[in-house]
Structure 1
Amino acid sequence: MLKAVGQVLFSSGLQNPKYTADEKKGEDYEIRTYHATKWVSTTLSGMQWDAAMNSGFRRLFSYIQGNNNNKVKVEMTAPVTCRVDPGAGPACESQFTVSFFIPEEHQETPPEPSDPEVFVEHRKEFTAYVRTYGGFSKENTKREELEKLMESLKRDGVQYVENPYYAAGYDSPFKLTNRRNEVWVLKQEQE
Structure 2
Amino acid sequence: MFKAVKQVFFSSGLQTPQFTTPEKQPKDYEERTYEAAKWVSTTVSGTSLDESMRTGFRRLFSYIQGNNTDKVKVEMTAPVTCHVDPGAGPACETNFTVSFYIPEEHRDAPPQPSNPNVFVEQRDEFTAYVRSYGGFSDETLVRNELLKLTESLRRDGVRFAERPYYFAGYDSPFKLVNRRNEVWLLQQKESTNT
The TM-score, its normalising length taken from structure 2, stands at: 0.96
2:68 counterpart SS class: coil
Q: Which runs of 5+ in 1 are unaligned?
A: none
**Structure 2 residue aligned with 1:134:** 134
1:51 counterpart SS class: helix
Pick which of 112-121 and 17-26 moved more.
Answer: 17-26
Distance 1:5 1:27 in 2: 35
Distance 2:184 2:167 in 1: 6
Q: 1:20-79 deviations in whole A, cap 9, x for unaligned? A: 012232220000000000000000100000000000000000000000000010000000
Q: Residues 4 and 75 of structure 2 are in contact (CA less than 8 Å); yes or no, is this contact kept in structure 1?
A: no
- Identity score, percent: 71
Q: Residues 7 and 14 of structure 2 are in contact (CA less than 8 Å); yes or no, is this contact kept in structure 1?
A: no
1:3 Cα shift? 5.1
The alignment covers a number of residue pairs equal to 191
Q: Residues 10 and 175 of structure 2 are in contact (CA less than 8 Å); yes or no, is this contact kept in structure 1?
A: yes
One-letter amino acid of the counterpart of residue 131, structure 1: R
Query: How well do the aligned residues superpose, as a CA RMSD in angstroms?
Result: 1.0
**Structure 1 residue aligned with 2:180:** 180
Distance 1:52 1:144 in 2: 19
Q: Residues 4 and 76 of structure 2 are in contact (CA less than 8 Å); yes or no, is this contact kept in structure 1?
A: no
Q: Residues 47 and 92 of structure 1 are in contact (CA less than 8 Å); yes or no, is this contact kept in structure 2?
A: yes
**Structure 1 residue aligned with 2:170:** 170
**Structure 2 residue aligned with 1:8:** 8
1:2 Cα shift? 4.5
Distance 1:151 1:124 in 2: 27
**Structure 1 residue aligned with 2:82:** 82
Q: 1:68-121 deviations in whole A, cap 9, x for unaligned? A: 000010000000000000000111010000000000010111000000000001
Q: 1:161-190 deviations in whole A, cap 9, x for unaligned? A: 011100000001100000000000000111
2:42 counterpart SS class: strand
1:33 counterpart SS class: strand
The TM-score, its normalising length taken from structure 1, stands at: 0.97
Distance 1:29 1:144 in 2: 14
